[in-house]
Structure 1
Amino acid sequence: MMEKLFHIRAKLFRRANLLASVMALAVGACVSSVQSAHAQWAVYDGAAHVQTVLIAARELQQIDNQITSLANQAQMLVNQAKNLALLPLSTLSTLQSTISQTTALLAQAQNIAYSVQSVEQKYQQAYTSISSGMSDSSLFSQAQTRWQNSVGGFEDALKLQARVVGNIPSDSSAMTQLVSASQTSTGALQAAQAGNQLLALQSRQLSDIQAELAANGRATALQQARDAATEAESEAQYQHFSQHDAYVPGTVSMFGSSGN
Protein backbone atom coordinates (compact mmCIF):
# COMPACT_ATOMS: atom_id res chain seq x y z
CA MET A 1 0.00 0.00 0.00
CA MET A 2 2.79 2.42 0.91
CA GLU A 3 4.64 1.66 -2.33
CA LYS A 4 1.51 2.35 -4.42
CA LEU A 5 1.01 5.71 -2.71
CA PHE A 6 4.60 6.71 -3.34
CA HIS A 7 4.27 5.68 -7.00
CA ILE A 8 1.12 7.80 -7.37
CA ARG A 9 2.82 10.74 -5.72
CA ALA A 10 5.84 10.49 -8.02
CA LYS A 11 3.58 10.20 -11.05
CA LEU A 12 1.68 13.36 -10.09
CA PHE A 13 4.90 15.25 -9.57
CA ARG A 14 6.09 14.18 -13.01
CA ARG A 15 2.83 15.40 -14.50
CA ALA A 16 3.15 18.72 -12.64
CA ASN A 17 6.66 19.21 -13.95
CA LEU A 18 5.46 18.38 -17.46
CA LEU A 19 2.58 20.86 -17.10
CA ALA A 20 4.95 23.56 -15.90
CA SER A 21 7.28 22.89 -18.80
CA VAL A 22 4.38 23.07 -21.28
CA MET A 23 3.20 26.32 -19.70
CA ALA A 24 6.69 27.77 -19.90
CA LEU A 25 6.93 26.80 -23.56
CA ALA A 26 3.52 28.26 -24.18
CA VAL A 27 4.47 31.54 -22.53
CA GLY A 28 7.65 31.67 -24.55
CA ALA A 29 5.79 30.97 -27.76
CA CYS A 30 3.22 33.62 -27.01
CA VAL A 31 5.84 36.23 -26.25
CA SER A 32 7.68 35.35 -29.44
CA SER A 33 4.45 35.51 -31.38
CA VAL A 34 3.67 38.89 -29.93
CA GLN A 35 7.14 40.16 -30.79
CA SER A 36 7.10 38.75 -34.33
CA ALA A 37 3.52 39.63 -35.13
CA HIS A 38 3.24 42.91 -33.31
CA ALA A 39 1.93 44.50 -36.48
CA GLN A 40 -1.02 42.09 -36.51
CA TRP A 41 -2.25 43.43 -33.15
CA ALA A 42 -2.01 40.03 -31.31
CA VAL A 43 -2.90 40.41 -27.61
CA TYR A 44 -1.40 38.22 -24.75
CA ASP A 45 -3.02 38.39 -21.27
CA GLY A 46 -0.07 37.68 -18.94
CA ALA A 47 -2.03 38.20 -15.68
CA ALA A 48 -4.63 35.57 -16.63
CA HIS A 49 -1.91 33.13 -17.53
CA VAL A 50 -0.16 33.64 -14.19
CA GLN A 51 -3.45 33.14 -12.37
CA THR A 52 -4.00 29.86 -14.19
CA VAL A 53 -0.54 28.62 -13.23
CA LEU A 54 -1.13 29.54 -9.56
CA ILE A 55 -4.44 27.66 -9.51
CA ALA A 56 -2.79 24.58 -10.98
CA ALA A 57 0.02 24.79 -8.40
CA ARG A 58 -2.47 25.00 -5.53
CA GLU A 59 -4.36 21.99 -6.86
CA LEU A 60 -1.12 20.03 -7.08
CA GLN A 61 -0.30 21.03 -3.50
CA GLN A 62 -3.70 19.80 -2.35
CA ILE A 63 -3.13 16.49 -4.12
CA ASP A 64 0.28 16.21 -2.47
CA ASN A 65 -1.28 16.84 0.95
CA GLN A 66 -3.87 14.16 0.29
CA ILE A 67 -1.16 11.69 -0.70
CA THR A 68 0.74 12.48 2.51
CA SER A 69 -2.43 11.96 4.55
CA LEU A 70 -3.09 8.63 2.85
CA ALA A 71 0.50 7.57 3.48
CA ASN A 72 0.12 8.38 7.20
CA GLN A 73 -3.13 6.42 7.38
CA ALA A 74 -1.49 3.48 5.62
CA GLN A 75 1.38 3.53 8.14
CA MET A 76 -1.15 3.63 10.97
CA LEU A 77 -2.89 0.56 9.54
CA VAL A 78 0.47 -1.21 9.26
CA ASN A 79 1.19 -0.46 12.93
CA GLN A 80 -2.26 -1.70 13.93
CA ALA A 81 -1.67 -4.90 11.97
CA LYS A 82 1.60 -5.42 13.86
CA ASN A 83 -0.17 -4.92 17.20
CA LEU A 84 -2.79 -7.51 16.20
CA ALA A 85 -0.31 -10.08 14.90
CA LEU A 86 -0.50 -13.43 16.71
CA LEU A 87 2.50 -14.96 18.46
CA PRO A 88 3.88 -17.77 16.25
CA LEU A 89 5.03 -19.75 19.33
CA SER A 90 2.66 -21.80 21.50
CA THR A 91 3.64 -24.01 24.46
CA LEU A 92 0.07 -24.92 25.41
CA SER A 93 0.22 -28.50 24.10
CA THR A 94 3.45 -29.17 26.01
CA LEU A 95 1.99 -27.79 29.24
CA GLN A 96 -1.17 -29.86 28.85
CA SER A 97 0.87 -33.00 28.19
CA THR A 98 2.97 -32.44 31.31
CA ILE A 99 -0.09 -31.84 33.48
CA SER A 100 -1.69 -35.01 32.09
CA GLN A 101 1.39 -37.05 33.03
CA THR A 102 1.37 -35.68 36.58
CA THR A 103 -2.37 -36.33 36.91
CA ALA A 104 -1.86 -39.90 35.68
CA LEU A 105 0.75 -40.51 38.38
CA LEU A 106 -1.62 -39.23 41.05
CA ALA A 107 -4.33 -41.54 39.73
CA GLN A 108 -1.95 -44.50 40.09
CA ALA A 109 -1.69 -44.07 43.87
CA GLN A 110 -1.35 -47.51 45.43
CA ASN A 111 -3.80 -49.04 47.92
CA ILE A 112 -5.36 -45.79 49.18
CA ALA A 113 -6.29 -43.41 46.36
CA TYR A 114 -6.65 -39.63 46.52
CA SER A 115 -10.35 -39.94 47.27
CA VAL A 116 -12.24 -39.09 50.44
CA GLN A 117 -14.40 -42.21 50.06
CA SER A 118 -11.36 -44.46 49.55
CA VAL A 119 -9.57 -42.99 52.56
CA GLU A 120 -12.58 -43.39 54.83
CA GLN A 121 -13.19 -46.99 53.79
CA LYS A 122 -9.66 -48.37 53.85
CA TYR A 123 -8.55 -46.35 56.86
CA GLN A 124 -11.43 -47.78 58.84
CA GLN A 125 -10.54 -51.33 57.76
CA ALA A 126 -6.81 -51.26 58.46
CA TYR A 127 -6.16 -48.56 61.06
CA THR A 128 -9.08 -48.07 63.42
CA SER A 129 -10.73 -51.50 63.61
CA ILE A 130 -8.07 -53.09 65.85
CA SER A 131 -9.45 -54.75 68.99
CA SER A 132 -8.45 -57.44 71.44
CA GLY A 133 -11.24 -59.63 70.10
CA MET A 134 -9.41 -60.10 66.80
CA SER A 135 -7.41 -63.24 66.17
CA ASP A 136 -3.64 -63.17 65.83
CA SER A 137 -3.92 -63.94 62.12
CA SER A 138 -6.28 -60.98 61.60
CA LEU A 139 -3.94 -58.70 63.50
CA PHE A 140 -1.02 -59.88 61.37
CA SER A 141 -3.00 -59.44 58.15
CA GLN A 142 -3.90 -55.85 59.03
CA ALA A 143 -0.32 -55.08 60.02
CA GLN A 144 0.82 -56.42 56.64
CA THR A 145 -1.72 -54.19 54.88
CA ARG A 146 -0.55 -51.11 56.77
CA TRP A 147 3.07 -51.88 55.90
CA GLN A 148 2.17 -52.22 52.21
CA ASN A 149 0.27 -48.92 52.34
CA SER A 150 3.28 -47.12 53.81
CA VAL A 151 5.72 -48.63 51.32
CA GLY A 152 3.38 -47.81 48.44
CA GLY A 153 2.95 -44.24 49.66
CA PHE A 154 6.70 -43.65 49.74
CA GLU A 155 7.07 -45.20 46.29
CA ASP A 156 4.32 -42.95 44.89
CA ALA A 157 6.04 -39.90 46.37
CA LEU A 158 9.37 -40.87 44.82
CA LYS A 159 7.78 -41.36 41.40
CA LEU A 160 6.13 -37.97 41.53
CA GLN A 161 9.37 -36.32 42.63
CA ALA A 162 11.14 -37.92 39.67
CA ARG A 163 8.45 -36.56 37.34
CA VAL A 164 8.76 -33.03 38.73
CA VAL A 165 12.55 -33.08 38.39
CA GLY A 166 12.22 -34.47 34.85
CA ASN A 167 10.08 -31.47 33.90
CA ILE A 168 12.84 -28.97 34.71
CA PRO A 169 14.76 -29.19 31.37
CA SER A 170 11.61 -28.76 29.25
CA ASP A 171 10.46 -25.90 31.49
CA SER A 172 13.81 -24.17 31.06
CA SER A 173 13.64 -24.53 27.26
CA ALA A 174 10.06 -23.22 27.12
CA MET A 175 10.92 -20.27 29.34
CA THR A 176 13.88 -19.33 27.13
CA GLN A 177 11.73 -19.46 23.98
CA LEU A 178 8.93 -17.40 25.51
CA VAL A 179 11.24 -14.71 26.87
CA SER A 180 12.95 -14.46 23.49
CA ALA A 181 9.57 -14.24 21.73
CA SER A 182 8.47 -11.51 24.11
CA GLN A 183 11.61 -9.46 23.56
CA THR A 184 11.39 -9.75 19.76
CA SER A 185 7.62 -9.30 19.49
CA THR A 186 6.42 -6.98 16.71
CA GLY A 187 3.33 -5.74 18.51
CA ALA A 188 1.44 -5.51 21.77
CA LEU A 189 -0.60 -8.68 21.17
CA GLN A 190 2.48 -10.88 20.67
CA ALA A 191 4.06 -9.49 23.85
CA ALA A 192 0.84 -10.10 25.80
CA GLN A 193 0.52 -13.66 24.48
CA ALA A 194 4.13 -14.44 25.42
CA GLY A 195 3.44 -13.08 28.92
CA ASN A 196 0.29 -15.19 29.23
CA GLN A 197 2.19 -18.34 28.27
CA LEU A 198 4.87 -17.55 30.85
CA LEU A 199 2.13 -17.25 33.47
CA ALA A 200 0.68 -20.59 32.32
CA LEU A 201 4.10 -22.20 32.69
CA GLN A 202 4.40 -20.85 36.23
CA SER A 203 0.93 -22.15 37.06
CA ARG A 204 1.88 -25.60 35.82
CA GLN A 205 5.04 -25.53 37.94
CA LEU A 206 2.95 -24.57 40.97
CA SER A 207 0.64 -27.51 40.28
CA ASP A 208 3.71 -29.78 40.24
CA ILE A 209 4.75 -28.44 43.64
CA GLN A 210 1.23 -28.92 44.95
CA ALA A 211 1.12 -32.51 43.70
CA GLU A 212 4.53 -33.25 45.22
CA LEU A 213 3.51 -31.81 48.58
CA ALA A 214 0.34 -33.91 48.48
CA ALA A 215 2.29 -37.10 47.72
CA ASN A 216 4.86 -36.43 50.45
CA GLY A 217 2.12 -35.57 52.93
CA ARG A 218 0.24 -38.75 52.03
CA ALA A 219 3.32 -40.91 52.59
CA THR A 220 4.04 -39.22 55.93
CA ALA A 221 0.41 -39.54 57.06
CA LEU A 222 0.31 -43.23 56.17
CA GLN A 223 3.45 -43.88 58.19
CA GLN A 224 2.14 -41.93 61.17
CA ALA A 225 -1.16 -43.80 61.00
CA ARG A 226 0.76 -47.08 60.85
CA ASP A 227 2.75 -46.13 63.96
CA ALA A 228 -0.46 -45.30 65.84
CA ALA A 229 -2.08 -48.56 64.73
CA THR A 230 1.00 -50.50 65.82
CA GLU A 231 0.47 -49.25 69.37
CA ALA A 232 -3.13 -50.46 69.31
CA GLU A 233 -1.97 -53.76 67.84
CA SER A 234 0.62 -54.21 70.60
CA GLU A 235 -2.09 -53.62 73.19
CA ALA A 236 -4.32 -56.26 71.59
CA GLN A 237 -1.48 -58.78 71.46
CA TYR A 238 -0.74 -58.15 75.12
CA GLN A 239 -4.36 -58.83 75.96
CA HIS A 240 -4.12 -62.13 74.09
CA PHE A 241 -1.00 -63.09 76.01
CA SER A 242 -2.45 -62.16 79.37
CA GLN A 243 -5.50 -64.36 78.82
CA HIS A 244 -3.46 -67.57 78.73
CA ASP A 245 -3.32 -69.78 81.88
CA ALA A 246 -0.66 -68.92 84.43
CA TYR A 247 2.58 -70.83 84.38
CA VAL A 248 2.50 -74.07 86.48
CA PRO A 249 5.87 -75.53 87.47
CA GLY A 250 6.42 -79.25 86.91
CA THR A 251 9.13 -81.88 87.02
CA VAL A 252 11.33 -82.04 84.02
CA SER A 253 13.40 -85.10 83.13
CA MET A 254 16.68 -84.38 81.44
CA PHE A 255 19.10 -86.81 79.76
CA GLY A 256 16.85 -89.77 80.62
CA SER A 257 17.71 -89.61 84.33
CA SER A 258 15.06 -90.00 86.95
CA GLY A 259 17.12 -88.53 89.76
CA ASN A 260 18.66 -85.17 90.08
Structure 2
Amino acid sequence: MKLPIRLSPVVTLLALGLLALQPASAVTVIDPTNLVQNTLTAVRTLELINNQVSQLQNESQMLVNQARHLARLDYNVVNRLRVTLASTERLLAEAQGLAFEVQRLDREFARLYPAEYAHDTSGQRMAQEARERWRQGLDGLHTAMRVQAQVAQNLAQDESVLADLVNQSQAAGGALQAAQATNQLLALQAKQSIQAQQLQITQNRAIALELARQAAAAEEARELRRRFMGSGTPYTPYPVQFYR
Protein backbone atom coordinates (compact mmCIF):
# COMPACT_ATOMS: atom_id res chain seq x y z
CA MET A 1 0.00 0.00 0.00
CA LYS A 2 1.52 3.33 -1.09
CA LEU A 3 1.94 5.87 1.72
CA PRO A 4 0.70 9.41 1.03
CA ILE A 5 3.08 12.35 0.83
CA ARG A 6 1.73 13.66 4.16
CA LEU A 7 4.23 11.35 5.84
CA SER A 8 7.03 13.83 5.09
CA PRO A 9 6.27 16.13 8.11
CA VAL A 10 6.13 13.07 10.34
CA VAL A 11 9.54 11.99 9.21
CA THR A 12 10.81 15.55 9.74
CA LEU A 13 9.48 15.65 13.32
CA LEU A 14 11.05 12.27 13.98
CA ALA A 15 14.39 13.55 12.85
CA LEU A 16 14.08 16.67 15.03
CA GLY A 17 13.20 14.52 18.06
CA LEU A 18 16.32 12.44 17.55
CA LEU A 19 18.40 15.61 17.42
CA ALA A 20 16.86 16.83 20.68
CA LEU A 21 17.56 13.61 22.55
CA GLN A 22 21.19 13.30 21.55
CA PRO A 23 23.95 15.33 23.31
CA ALA A 24 25.53 18.16 21.47
CA SER A 25 28.76 16.22 21.01
CA ALA A 26 26.97 13.28 19.39
CA VAL A 27 24.67 15.22 17.17
CA THR A 28 24.50 13.67 13.67
CA VAL A 29 23.36 15.72 10.79
CA ILE A 30 20.34 14.08 9.08
CA ASP A 31 19.06 15.13 5.71
CA PRO A 32 15.24 15.14 5.96
CA THR A 33 14.79 14.92 2.22
CA ASN A 34 17.08 11.91 1.99
CA LEU A 35 15.25 10.24 4.87
CA VAL A 36 11.88 10.76 3.18
CA GLN A 37 13.18 9.35 -0.09
CA ASN A 38 14.61 6.30 1.65
CA THR A 39 11.32 5.72 3.46
CA LEU A 40 9.32 6.00 0.24
CA THR A 41 11.74 3.58 -1.47
CA ALA A 42 11.26 1.08 1.34
CA VAL A 43 7.47 1.42 1.08
CA ARG A 44 7.57 0.88 -2.67
CA THR A 45 9.83 -2.12 -2.23
CA LEU A 46 7.42 -3.60 0.30
CA GLU A 47 4.52 -2.98 -2.05
CA LEU A 48 6.41 -4.70 -4.87
CA ILE A 49 7.10 -7.67 -2.65
CA ASN A 50 3.43 -7.87 -1.69
CA ASN A 51 2.47 -7.82 -5.37
CA GLN A 52 4.93 -10.60 -6.13
CA VAL A 53 3.57 -12.66 -3.24
CA SER A 54 0.02 -12.17 -4.54
CA GLN A 55 1.13 -13.17 -8.03
CA LEU A 56 2.76 -16.32 -6.72
CA GLN A 57 -0.39 -17.17 -4.77
CA ASN A 58 -2.49 -16.72 -7.91
CA GLU A 59 -0.14 -18.90 -9.94
CA SER A 60 -0.23 -21.53 -7.22
CA GLN A 61 -4.04 -21.52 -7.25
CA MET A 62 -4.00 -21.76 -11.03
CA LEU A 63 -1.76 -24.83 -10.86
CA VAL A 64 -4.10 -26.38 -8.29
CA ASN A 65 -7.05 -25.76 -10.61
CA GLN A 66 -5.20 -27.25 -13.55
CA ALA A 67 -4.32 -30.32 -11.53
CA ARG A 68 -7.96 -30.70 -10.55
CA HIS A 69 -9.11 -30.40 -14.18
CA LEU A 70 -6.50 -32.96 -15.27
CA ALA A 71 -7.38 -35.46 -12.56
CA ARG A 72 -8.67 -38.74 -14.01
CA LEU A 73 -12.00 -40.27 -13.05
CA ASP A 74 -11.36 -43.32 -10.89
CA TYR A 75 -14.50 -45.06 -12.13
CA ASN A 76 -15.08 -47.27 -15.17
CA VAL A 77 -18.24 -49.14 -16.24
CA VAL A 78 -16.92 -50.48 -19.55
CA ASN A 79 -16.46 -54.00 -18.17
CA ARG A 80 -20.02 -54.02 -16.86
CA LEU A 81 -21.29 -52.97 -20.28
CA ARG A 82 -19.25 -55.69 -21.97
CA VAL A 83 -20.68 -58.37 -19.70
CA THR A 84 -24.30 -57.45 -20.44
CA LEU A 85 -23.59 -57.13 -24.16
CA ALA A 86 -21.86 -60.52 -24.21
CA SER A 87 -25.01 -62.15 -22.83
CA THR A 88 -27.02 -61.30 -25.96
CA GLU A 89 -24.08 -62.16 -28.23
CA ARG A 90 -23.96 -65.60 -26.61
CA LEU A 91 -27.63 -66.15 -27.42
CA LEU A 92 -27.00 -65.26 -31.06
CA ALA A 93 -24.09 -67.70 -31.16
CA GLU A 94 -26.35 -70.44 -29.73
CA ALA A 95 -29.10 -69.78 -32.30
CA GLN A 96 -30.35 -72.92 -34.03
CA GLY A 97 -31.43 -73.22 -37.64
CA LEU A 98 -29.95 -71.13 -40.39
CA ALA A 99 -26.53 -69.78 -39.54
CA PHE A 100 -25.74 -66.08 -39.36
CA GLU A 101 -22.69 -66.64 -41.58
CA VAL A 102 -23.39 -65.70 -45.17
CA GLN A 103 -21.69 -68.66 -46.88
CA ARG A 104 -23.26 -71.30 -44.66
CA LEU A 105 -26.62 -69.60 -44.91
CA ASP A 106 -26.48 -69.63 -48.74
CA ARG A 107 -25.79 -73.39 -48.81
CA GLU A 108 -28.51 -74.30 -46.31
CA PHE A 109 -31.04 -71.96 -47.87
CA ALA A 110 -30.47 -73.38 -51.37
CA ARG A 111 -30.99 -76.90 -50.02
CA LEU A 112 -34.08 -76.31 -47.86
CA TYR A 113 -35.81 -73.53 -49.77
CA PRO A 114 -35.48 -74.46 -53.45
CA ALA A 115 -37.04 -72.24 -56.07
CA GLU A 116 -38.08 -75.40 -57.93
CA TYR A 117 -37.98 -79.07 -57.01
CA ALA A 118 -36.19 -81.51 -59.24
CA HIS A 119 -38.38 -84.15 -60.86
CA ASP A 120 -36.40 -86.95 -59.26
CA THR A 121 -36.76 -85.59 -55.70
CA SER A 122 -38.41 -88.24 -53.59
CA GLY A 123 -41.52 -87.54 -51.59
CA GLN A 124 -39.77 -88.71 -48.42
CA ARG A 125 -37.01 -86.14 -48.89
CA MET A 126 -39.55 -83.41 -49.52
CA ALA A 127 -41.33 -84.33 -46.31
CA GLN A 128 -38.06 -84.31 -44.35
CA GLU A 129 -37.10 -80.90 -45.68
CA ALA A 130 -40.56 -79.53 -44.91
CA ARG A 131 -40.25 -80.69 -41.33
CA GLU A 132 -36.73 -79.19 -41.08
CA ARG A 133 -38.04 -75.87 -42.38
CA TRP A 134 -40.77 -75.92 -39.76
CA ARG A 135 -38.18 -76.66 -37.10
CA GLN A 136 -35.97 -73.79 -38.21
CA GLY A 137 -38.90 -71.37 -38.09
CA LEU A 138 -39.64 -72.53 -34.55
CA ASP A 139 -35.99 -72.11 -33.55
CA GLY A 140 -35.98 -68.60 -35.04
CA LEU A 141 -38.97 -67.61 -32.92
CA HIS A 142 -37.37 -69.17 -29.84
CA THR A 143 -34.12 -67.26 -30.40
CA ALA A 144 -35.99 -63.97 -30.80
CA MET A 145 -37.89 -64.56 -27.56
CA ARG A 146 -34.67 -65.46 -25.70
CA VAL A 147 -32.97 -62.28 -26.86
CA GLN A 148 -36.03 -60.26 -25.83
CA ALA A 149 -35.93 -61.81 -22.35
CA GLN A 150 -32.17 -61.14 -22.01
CA VAL A 151 -32.54 -57.52 -23.12
CA ALA A 152 -35.31 -57.06 -20.55
CA GLN A 153 -32.99 -58.43 -17.83
CA ASN A 154 -30.17 -56.15 -18.97
CA LEU A 155 -32.37 -53.07 -18.60
CA ALA A 156 -32.21 -53.28 -14.80
CA GLN A 157 -28.39 -53.36 -14.93
CA ASP A 158 -28.35 -50.50 -17.42
CA GLU A 159 -30.45 -48.39 -15.06
CA SER A 160 -27.96 -49.03 -12.26
CA VAL A 161 -25.03 -48.10 -14.52
CA LEU A 162 -26.83 -44.93 -15.62
CA ALA A 163 -27.48 -43.85 -12.03
CA ASP A 164 -23.84 -44.43 -11.07
CA LEU A 165 -22.55 -42.47 -14.07
CA VAL A 166 -24.86 -39.54 -13.38
CA ASN A 167 -23.63 -39.40 -9.79
CA GLN A 168 -20.02 -39.52 -10.93
CA SER A 169 -20.64 -36.77 -13.48
CA GLN A 170 -22.28 -34.49 -10.94
CA ALA A 171 -19.50 -35.08 -8.42
CA ALA A 172 -16.72 -34.55 -10.97
CA GLY A 173 -14.03 -32.24 -9.63
CA GLY A 174 -12.60 -31.17 -12.98
CA ALA A 175 -13.16 -31.01 -16.70
CA LEU A 176 -11.40 -34.31 -17.42
CA GLN A 177 -13.51 -36.24 -14.93
CA ALA A 178 -16.69 -34.72 -16.35
CA ALA A 179 -15.58 -35.60 -19.90
CA GLN A 180 -14.76 -39.19 -18.91
CA ALA A 181 -18.13 -39.60 -17.22
CA THR A 182 -19.81 -38.24 -20.36
CA ASN A 183 -17.86 -40.67 -22.55
CA GLN A 184 -19.03 -43.59 -20.42
CA LEU A 185 -22.61 -42.35 -20.71
CA LEU A 186 -22.15 -42.38 -24.49
CA ALA A 187 -20.76 -45.92 -24.23
CA LEU A 188 -23.90 -47.00 -22.37
CA GLN A 189 -26.04 -45.45 -25.10
CA ALA A 190 -24.01 -47.23 -27.81
CA LYS A 191 -24.34 -50.54 -25.96
CA GLN A 192 -28.13 -50.17 -25.77
CA SER A 193 -28.21 -49.34 -29.47
CA ILE A 194 -26.26 -52.51 -30.27
CA GLN A 195 -28.67 -54.54 -28.14
CA ALA A 196 -31.62 -53.03 -30.00
CA GLN A 197 -30.00 -53.99 -33.31
CA GLN A 198 -29.42 -57.54 -32.10
CA LEU A 199 -33.04 -57.82 -31.04
CA GLN A 200 -34.21 -56.44 -34.38
CA ILE A 201 -32.00 -58.93 -36.22
CA THR A 202 -33.46 -61.92 -34.40
CA GLN A 203 -37.02 -60.71 -34.91
CA ASN A 204 -36.48 -60.07 -38.61
CA ARG A 205 -34.79 -63.47 -38.90
CA ALA A 206 -37.83 -65.21 -37.45
CA ILE A 207 -40.12 -63.35 -39.86
CA ALA A 208 -37.88 -64.16 -42.83
CA LEU A 209 -37.80 -67.86 -41.90
CA GLU A 210 -41.59 -68.00 -41.79
CA LEU A 211 -41.95 -66.25 -45.14
CA ALA A 212 -39.35 -68.56 -46.70
CA ARG A 213 -41.15 -71.59 -45.26
CA GLN A 214 -44.43 -70.45 -46.79
CA ALA A 215 -42.77 -69.97 -50.18
CA ALA A 216 -41.16 -73.42 -50.01
CA ALA A 217 -44.46 -74.99 -48.97
CA ALA A 218 -46.15 -73.39 -51.99
CA GLU A 219 -43.47 -74.82 -54.30
CA GLU A 220 -43.79 -78.24 -52.65
CA ALA A 221 -47.54 -78.19 -53.13
CA ARG A 222 -47.13 -77.27 -56.82
CA GLU A 223 -44.71 -80.15 -57.36
CA LEU A 224 -46.99 -82.64 -55.60
CA ARG A 225 -49.94 -81.44 -57.67
CA ARG A 226 -47.91 -81.86 -60.88
CA ARG A 227 -46.98 -85.39 -59.92
CA PHE A 228 -50.55 -86.24 -59.04
CA MET A 229 -51.88 -84.93 -62.33
CA GLY A 230 -49.12 -86.64 -64.30
CA SER A 231 -47.98 -85.83 -67.82
CA GLY A 232 -50.25 -88.24 -69.79
CA THR A 233 -53.70 -87.75 -71.23
CA PRO A 234 -56.09 -86.61 -68.58
CA TYR A 235 -59.12 -88.74 -67.75
CA THR A 236 -62.10 -88.17 -70.06
CA PRO A 237 -65.49 -89.36 -68.84
CA TYR A 238 -67.80 -91.23 -71.25
CA PRO A 239 -71.04 -93.13 -70.75
CA VAL A 240 -70.92 -96.85 -69.93
CA GLN A 241 -73.80 -99.21 -70.63
CA PHE A 242 -73.94 -102.16 -68.24
CA TYR A 243 -77.01 -103.89 -69.68
CA ARG A 244 -78.00 -104.39 -73.29
Q: TM-score range by the shorter chain?
A: 0.7 to 0.9
Give the RMSD, CA atoms, in angstroms: 2.7
**TM-score of the pair, normalised by structure 1:** 0.77
Match of 2:78 in 1: 92
Q: Does 1:56 align with 2:42?
A: yes
Task: Judge which range, 156-165 or 91-100, deviates more.
Answer: 91-100
Partner Cα distance (2:216, 2:22) in 1: 132
Q: Does 1:156 align with 2:143?
A: yes
- 1:93-144 Cα offsets, whole Å, 9 max, x none, are 1112222222222222212111111211001111106344321211111111
- 1:30-78 Cα offsets, whole Å, 9 max, x none, are 945743513x261241524443333222222111110000001111111
Q: For the Cα contact (< 8 Å) 2:15–2:30, is it kept in 1? A: no
Q: Does 1:126 align with 2:112?
A: yes
Q: For the Cα contact (< 8 Å) 1:132–1:237, is it kept in 2? A: no
Amino acid at match of 1:42: V
- 1:148-181 Cα offsets, whole Å, 9 max, x none, are 1111111111111111111101111111111222
Shift of 1:187: 1.5
Partner Cα distance (1:131, 1:160) in 2: 38
**TM-score of the pair, normalised by structure 2:** 0.81
Match of 1:167 in 2: 154
Partner Cα distance (1:74, 1:36) in 2: 50
Amino acid at match of 1:149: Q
Shift of 1:28: 7.3
1:243 and 1:41, CA in 2 relative to 1: closer, same or farther beyond 3 A?
closer
Amino acid at match of 2:199: E
Partner Cα distance (1:36, 1:122) in 2: 121
Alignment of 1:1-260 (within 5 A): 31=17, 34-38=20-24, 40=25, 42-45=27-30, 47=32, 48-128=34-114, 130-243=117-230
Gapped regions of structure 1 (runs ≥ 5): 1-26, 248-260
Task: Judge which range, 234-243 or 165-174, deviates more.
Answer: 234-243
- 1:211-246 Cα offsets, whole Å, 9 max, x none, are 111100001100111111111112222234334999
State the identity as a percent: 35
Amino acid at match of 2:101: S
Partner Cα distance (1:43, 1:224) in 2: 119
Gapped regions of structure 2 (runs ≥ 5): 1-12, 236-244
Partner Cα distance (1:197, 1:178) in 2: 7
Matched residues, number: 221
Partner Cα distance (1:157, 1:64) in 2: 74
